[in-house]
Structure 1
Amino acid sequence: MAQKDIKFLRVTYLRGPNLWTYRPVIEAWVDIGELEDFPSNKIPGFYERLVAWLPSLVEHRCGVGERGGFLQRLREGTWPAHIMEHVAIELQNLAGIQAGFGKARETSQRGIYKVAVRARNEQIGRAAIQAARDLVMAAIEDGSYDVSGKVAELRDMVDAHHLGPSTGCIVDAANERGIPSIRLTDGNLVQLGYGARQRRIWTAETDRTSAIAEGISSDKDLTKTLLASCGVPVPEGQVAADPAEAWEAAQDIGLPVVVKPSDANHGRGVSLDLTTEQQVAAAWTLADKEGSEVIVERFVRGNEHRLLVVGTQVVAAARGEAAWIEGDGVQTVEALIESQINTDPRRGVTEDFPLNRLVLDEDPALVLELTRQGVARDSVPAKGVRVLVQRNGNVAIDCTDEVHPEVAAQVSLAARIVGLDIAGVDLVTEDISRPLEETGGAIVEVNAGPGLLMHLKPASGEGRPVGKAIAAHLFPDGDKGRIPVVGVTGSRETALLARLVTWLVHLAGKPVGLACSEGLFLDRRQVERGDRAHWQAGQQLLMNRRIEAAVFENSAKMMLEEGLAYDRCAVGIVTDVHLGEALAAHDILDLDQSFRLMRTQVDVVLDNGWAVLNANDAQVVEMAPLCDGEVLFYAESANTPALQAHRERGGRVAFIQDGRVVLAQGAQEFRLTELAPLPLLRGQNTAERREALLAAAGATWVLGLETELVAAGIETFDAVRLARHAA
């Protein structure tokens, strides 16, 4: 079937809530051409080839709603665009990035489909949809396809572009609580929350992590001095300028000793249980390569432990174990390390593995440990002879429930002494269930930015919800890090409406940002001219720490090509459901299709938020049941059927009566501004402007503004003067 093909017509990354879903997706328009006449059940061997390559597709339920549902559709006959959707999802899942959502829909043109697939990262999403097309074509043409190679390639992309496990677990925990997030770089710098309510994280560091505290923690000798002065048990030690001084210090302290760099991390350059001058000298040379100074300190017997402190609480603990090999009289030490240690599925080279592979060429400390025992890499230990390969660095056995309360208190105190809000505290003890005073244990390091993987995916024991603990530390007591966000969509004076809402919120005393088709405004100051009703400008508002409220004008084109700039909003305003050239270009050709697009603004209203809807537009009225929060209807006439019925049910409404704006709930009415004197309502589009005024009054009322302030704001708003002032 070489004459058949699947061609991409366009591929778009929708970064925010969109026509398809709340989450970012890759939307691909594909032309399947003659394959429209060849569903999967009409292509000999297609089903067998695809399932052989991707047997995990059996987990896809598809529209059938049960395991194996998608395979049933394949057997019955479905089209390549739908198959591409599921393949793109599965390739991402196999690469280690969760993607569950997908849709494939026909357009008005025969053979052309829209395929939308959840994509947490644009580069990975684009690669996955391209790979899905190539794999499906290979199965159609009875060709070859290296699935494992493509999955490995995608996994490398995940490692390069996706959030690391430490940052990712915090972001996921925040999102589960309804706290929004914005990735600020290609790395692990992430904003949680919006505007003035935001916090920032960088792996396991936060914007509460003091630079001074981080500097102290990187100086091991200074850290020990501070801890000792506050009564925290630490091993005595001193800085050594050269090997001779290190040996002298070791004799003063008493053998055995530890030699380590003063400011290295992850156990690099650390040598334990040293008893001879030769060992100390070799360890000093090793440590000197890793840090600015070398410390010699008393060796504390016991197991290495890492305790995670968040705020003032120990939330997780892990214990280390030594790595040994056992001789068989045949294999060399290096071969035994590979066969007995590195084959452990818990070991790997990426952050997804709780234990690292041990490679002699990459870790001089391993070679030093072997040398101390008179063993070389090519030595062949006799059968049954055990050789110690690594004393530390395998901290991945959960022991959180074993930590003695006094140990937890001392560890928490150590983090506070250094000044870290999140700390990884290393201690050595023979039994963490007993106080350090009883075991002779001691705290040896306090680290900023600790890795979280050992607690999330320990090599043994229960994983701990450390991301949840950090999110709670940053946003306590139900705080979701949100500012009031107002979204406006439709075609009836939406820019004017957005500016009027902004003016009213400003009068309430909040620094407010506005992204609209007339520019980008920060607290009434225009910082960018031209059309800024787009995703990037919206993100600029949400990242601004000064902004306490934000207003967005959202065009249909923007929602179709980028998605909304925010995940949820306090107020969503819809003026009308309309058709236009921008919609036709996206194959939205009737009002029902436009409705599905415009409802996006209502879909994202928070459960404690409001949809402000035009009661004169029948399709806008139909959006009311879709709102997770409450609804305010507006219309010029109080007798508008939808508005009147809503008011009779006790709902909030806005209308015009006797030439004045009226806000009402049930029988209660607030009569506001007289409209006749307003310059805003002179000239063209007065009907649409009256609607905009009503929508703005209603929106700010449900936001909590006093009706007197709303009235004053309407009276003082002058669109022409405001534009001149902003410019």
Structure 2
Amino acid sequence: MNNKTIDIIDVLSLRGPNIWTYRPVIEAWVDIGDLEDSPSNTIPGFYERLTAWLPSLVEHHCGVGVHGGFLMRLREGTWPGHIMEHVMIELQNLAGMQSGFGKARETSKRGVYKVVVRARHEEVSRAALVAARDLVMAAIEDRPYDVQGAVNNLRDILESVALGPSTGCIVDAATDRRIPSMRLNDGNLVQLGHGAKQRRIWTAETDQTSAIAETISSDKELTKTLLQSCGVPVPEGRIVNSVADAWDAAESIGLPVVIKPLDGNHGRGVSTNLRTLPDIEAAFLLAEQESSDVIVERFVLGNEHRLLIIGGKLVAAARGEEASVVADGISNISELINSQLNSDPRRGSSEDCPLNLILIDEADDPRVVLLELARQGYTTESIPPAGEKILVQRNGNVAFDVTDQVHPSVAAAASLAARIVGLDIAGVDLVAQDISRPLEEQGGAIVEVNAGPGLLMHLKPADGPARPVGRAIVDHLFAENESGRIPIVGVTGSHDTTAVSRLIAWLLHLQGTYVGLACKDGLFLRQRHVLKKSSDNWDASRQVLMNRMVETAVFENSSKTILSEGLAYDWCQVGVVTNIDPADKLPEFYIEDADQMSRVVRTQIDVVLPTGVAVLNAADPRVVELAPLCDGSVIFFAASASTAAIVTHLEQGQRAVFLRDGHIVLASDKEEILIGNAVQDKSALNIETVLAAIAAAWALGVSPDLMRVGIESFEPTDAVIAA
């Protein structure tokens, strides 16, 4: 019986560095059944169908390394697992989630392959995997397939799970500086850095954004009062409680005026250039729907501007422009808006569009547009005379970059306004005719100071260059020499990894460091046993990295954890490999021998920082072979100083830890430090366990005296269980 189908047996989400790459991937185990006997060049019409559906596959170099390389493999003959890999990559690319990395490898079981593809968002990649399988099968069986429908579905999933553009640009900037990031919820709350060195962002708000400052900024009258008291130019005005009161205020201030809600945002409920009682009545009712309190202010002549202040410095500025249409004498205003304004590719409803659509349907709450048209004597159904210009919207189009035009005194006023309110990141709104001149010369004024300002207008301006606002926020949070990293120690190997991890954490604890430890014995914080069950998994390690108190982290990583989840961190300061047992294998992961296991264990050494240290067992040949793969330095350990790897290592001026006459020796070139006969009473500990832990502690600067005390006082079964 023929079984020419592709079954997805299992899917692993490797969310950190893994045996394939440093980045998160989806690893799918697929069974191609009898298709193992049907490479692509034996299936009539397969090549033509697949390339017609996905012509952009020509961009895939594949292992050939040239443009069109994958198509060459396709014509020569390759198997469905490999084809699925490339189709999955291309579907993700077409959906807007760039993914260039992929692998397809046979397992020891005939017809079963591991298909591995970069996964920036697991939900999208899982859906892309299924879509890739279905598409390949449709091409094999000569059935129709809705490629665009599949891409649209992936795009919808991506939009629902991806970070917003403002948060995304900050995370990207942190990545460029090699600052690690962790998403803390399904929204835009992100941790930059680890443990005690972390900072948090939520879109354009940070953990330095004061709640008091945010409250002040949401109260426009209080903000204006504070700014005015410090000499910042603001428009005169006051709170009003009725239409009659609004008219009295307008007459007192002097027409024209602006009416807006006291605690509104994003321009909702704001009406400008009001000159008549009917206009003021309509504007008051509009603002009242946004807030219980309404403000009447002097109308400041000029364009709206948004100045982005980060850490007291002007980083970007954008100007607003009125939106208007020109009548053709045939179309009504609704049709003119759609044909002349909403047809602009820069306008849209998604976060990626710098300009918003102008909504005129009643269901879309077009109150501001309708009010503006009514003031000119029109409705959306009116057909004005040909050539007449009709103002549709006065604000909401602040997306034209003017950063390089801002006068220094204007930048200083905006910076002062942010400091007065108390915001570390602020969107300062001001009105001026010419942003390149001082405000005082033209009667300009600052009208609002906003917390959590949107960044899209500066990232994708309707006109002008994009500004590196994400980098400015990251540089504000982290000094130039800061990476947000704490020292991380990763321990892996076949045996004794739990004991090594516990002893390393104990030695670091004695140094006065707040240590977080995740190992098979549980989760420990400062030697308190806070989680009793096995913590040999991703979640426990992430708990350590999220803890603001943790100054150093120690993680035990079994081979199974590396294969099923990946590492919970991107880089480490110290990577320890205790040993690789020749009998080791994990057949449930298709790891059949010690050589394959070595490639698994290598993952821990691949992530050692260039400034870090690999601690390796010099008595284990397979472990010794990992030394050249480390980007940092290496400390070998072994029970005997005559171990070949140690002798050679010391001759090269490197460091080693070994035992001589019962004494632990720290050796570097020709210098030696004796720890003393510290292991004689620790028969429960394997000597190599002690040596590995001592080497890791040495790499992290623990003093020899503390090492001695630590070994003498360590009790591996002693744990205080938290209540």
Residue 699 of structure 2 corresponds to residue 697 of structure 1: no
Alpha-carbon deviation of 1:76?
Answer: 2.4
C-alpha separation between the residues in 1 aligned to 2:139 and 2:526? 57
Residue 712 of structure 2 corresponds to residue 715 of structure 1: yes
Partner SS state of residue 163, structure 2: coil
The 5 Å alignment of 1:330-345 reads 330-345=330-345
User: CA separation of 1:454/1:139 partners in 2, compared to 1, >3 Å: closer, same or farther?
Assistant: same
Structure-2 residue corresponding to 1:210? 210
Structure-1 residue corresponding to 2:150? 150
Structure-2 residue corresponding to 1:583? 586
The answer to whether the 8 Å contact 2:494/2:584 transfers is no
Partner SS state of residue 705, structure 2: helix
The 5 Å alignment of 1:216-365 reads 216-361=216-361, 362=364, 363-365=366-368
> C-alpha offsets along residues 230-271 of structure 1, whole Å, 9 cap, x if unaligned?
111111111111211111111111111111111111111111
C-alpha separation between the residues in 1 aligned to 2:676 and 2:533? 31
Structure-1 residue corresponding to 2:183? 183
Structure-1 residue corresponding to 2:598? 595
CA RMSD of aligned residues (A): 1.6
Structure-1 residue corresponding to 2:440? 437
Partner SS state of residue 82, structure 1: helix
The answer to whether the 8 Å contact 1:556/1:582 transfers is no
Structure-1 residue corresponding to 2:140? 140
Residue 620 of structure 2 corresponds to residue 617 of structure 1: yes
Give the letter aligned to residue 256 of structure 2: P
Structure-2 residue corresponding to 1:518? 521
Alpha-carbon deviation of 1:317?
Answer: 0.8
Structure-1 residue corresponding to 2:169? 169
Structure-2 residue corresponding to 1:668? 671
Alpha-carbon deviation of 1:582?
Answer: 6.4
C-alpha separation between the residues in 2 aligned to 1:529 and 1:206? 34
Partner SS state of residue 109, structure 1: coil
C-alpha separation between the residues in 1 aligned to 2:504 and 2:478? 28
C-alpha separation between the residues in 2 aligned to 1:581 and 1:277? 86
The answer to whether the 8 Å contact 1:194/1:482 transfers is yes
Greater Cα shift, 74-83 or 106-115: 74-83
> C-alpha offsets along residues 607-636 of structure 1, whole Å, 9 cap, x if unaligned?
111110111111111111111111111111
Greater Cα shift, 501-510 or 377-386: 377-386
Partner SS state of residue 536, structure 2: coil
Alpha-carbon deviation of 1:675?
Answer: 4.3
> C-alpha offsets along residues 388-419 of structure 1, whole Å, 9 cap, x if unaligned?
11111111111111111111111111000000
User: CA separation of 1:295/1:234 partners in 2, compared to 1, >3 Å: closer, same or farther?
Assistant: same
The answer to whether the 8 Å contact 1:520/1:526 transfers is yes
C-alpha separation between the residues in 2 aligned to 1:91 and 1:441? 51
The answer to whether the 8 Å contact 2:256/2:274 transfers is yes
Partner SS state of residue 47, structure 1: helix
User: CA separation of 1:73/1:438 partners in 2, compared to 1, >3 Å: closer, same or farther?
Assistant: farther
Structure-1 residue corresponding to 2:683? 681
Give the letter aligned to residue 202 of structure 1: W
Give the letter aligned to residue 579 of structure 2: D
The answer to whether the 8 Å contact 2:527/2:720 transfers is no
1:393 maps to which of 387, 393, 396: 396
Give the letter aligned to residue 78 of structure 1: T
Alpha-carbon deviation of 1:579?
Answer: 6.2
In the alignment of these two chains, the number of paired residues is 720
C-alpha separation between the residues in 1 aligned to 2:541 and 2:586? 21
Greater Cα shift, 379-388 or 199-208: 379-388
Give the letter aligned to residue 327 of structure 1: A
Greater Cα shift, 421-430 or 325-334: 325-334
User: CA separation of 1:579/1:141 partners in 2, compared to 1, >3 Å: closer, same or farther?
Assistant: farther
The answer to whether the 8 Å contact 1:675/1:681 transfers is no
Report the TM-score when normalising by structure 2: 0.97
Partner SS state of residue 653, structure 1: strand
Alpha-carbon deviation of 1:42?
Answer: 2.2
> C-alpha offsets along residues 192-237 of structure 1, whole Å, 9 cap, x if unaligned?
1111111110010000000000000011111111111111111111
Residue 104 of structure 2 corresponds to residue 104 of structure 1: yes
C-alpha separation between the residues in 1 aligned to 2:28 and 2:700? 38
Residue 549 of structure 2 corresponds to residue 546 of structure 1: yes
Alpha-carbon deviation of 1:581?
Answer: 7.4
Alpha-carbon deviation of 1:329?
Answer: 2.1
Partner SS state of residue 168, structure 1: helix
Give the letter aligned to residue 423 of structure 1: A
Structure-1 residue corresponding to 2:639? 636
Alpha-carbon deviation of 1:420?
Answer: 0.3
Alpha-carbon deviation of 1:64?
Answer: 2.2
User: CA separation of 1:578/1:132 partners in 2, compared to 1, >3 Å: closer, same or farther?
Assistant: farther
User: CA separation of 1:10/1:251 partners in 2, compared to 1, >3 Å: closer, same or farther?
Assistant: same
The 5 Å alignment of 1:80-119 reads 80-119=80-119
User: CA separation of 1:2/1:319 partners in 2, compared to 1, >3 Å: closer, same or farther?
Assistant: farther
Residue 472 of structure 2 corresponds to residue 469 of structure 1: yes
Structure 2, unaligned runs of 5 or more:
none
C-alpha separation between the residues in 1 aligned to 2:498 and 2:376? 77
User: CA separation of 1:124/1:573 partners in 2, compared to 1, >3 Å: closer, same or farther?
Assistant: same
The answer to whether the 8 Å contact 1:613/1:620 transfers is yes
Give the letter aligned to residue 90 of structure 1: E
> C-alpha offsets along residues 161-214 of structure 1, whole Å, 9 cap, x if unaligned?
111111111111111111111111011101111111111100100000000000
C-alpha separation between the residues in 2 aligned to 1:86 and 1:289? 53
The answer to whether the 8 Å contact 2:678/2:711 transfers is no
C-alpha separation between the residues in 2 aligned to 1:109 and 1:264? 63
The answer to whether the 8 Å contact 1:2/1:141 transfers is no
Partner SS state of residue 589, structure 1: coil
User: CA separation of 1:292/1:578 partners in 2, compared to 1, >3 Å: closer, same or farther?
Assistant: farther
C-alpha separation between the residues in 1 aligned to 2:324 and 2:151? 33
Structure-2 residue corresponding to 1:492? 495
Give the letter aligned to residue 127 of structure 1: A
Greater Cα shift, 43-52 or 513-522: 43-52
Partner SS state of residue 396, structure 1: strand
C-alpha separation between the residues in 2 aligned to 1:581 and 1:477? 45
The answer to whether the 8 Å contact 1:304/1:429 transfers is yes
The answer to whether the 8 Å contact 1:89/1:117 transfers is yes
Partner SS state of residue 586, structure 2: helix
Give the letter aligned to residue 108 of structure 1: S
C-alpha separation between the residues in 2 aligned to 1:149 and 1:354? 26
> C-alpha offsets along residues 654-701 of structure 1, whole Å, 9 cap, x if unaligned?
0000111111110000111314532x224xxx6xx1111001001011
Structure-1 residue corresponding to 2:457? 454
Alpha-carbon deviation of 1:724?
Answer: 6.7
C-alpha separation between the residues in 1 aligned to 2:722 and 2:282? 69
Alpha-carbon deviation of 1:122?
Answer: 1.8
> C-alpha offsets along residues 535-577 of structure 1, whole Å, 9 cap, x if unaligned?
1000010111111111111001111111111111110001122
The answer to whether the 8 Å contact 1:579/1:594 transfers is no
Greater Cα shift, 403-412 or 328-337: 328-337
Structure 1, unaligned runs of 5 or more:
none
Alpha-carbon deviation of 1:2?
Answer: 10
User: CA separation of 1:712/1:406 partners in 2, compared to 1, >3 Å: closer, same or farther?
Assistant: same
Structure-2 residue corresponding to 1:421? 424
The answer to whether the 8 Å contact 1:396/1:454 transfers is yes
Alpha-carbon deviation of 1:526?
Answer: 0.4
Structure-2 residue corresponding to 1:379? 382
Residue 509 of structure 2 corresponds to residue 506 of structure 1: yes
Structure 1 segments (4+ residues) deviating >6 Å: 579-582, 724-727
C-alpha separation between the residues in 2 aligned to 1:506 and 1:522? 10
Alpha-carbon deviation of 1:369?
Answer: 1.0
The answer to whether the 8 Å contact 1:253/1:297 transfers is yes
The 5 Å alignment of 1:185-204 reads 185-204=185-204
The answer to whether the 8 Å contact 2:583/2:593 transfers is no
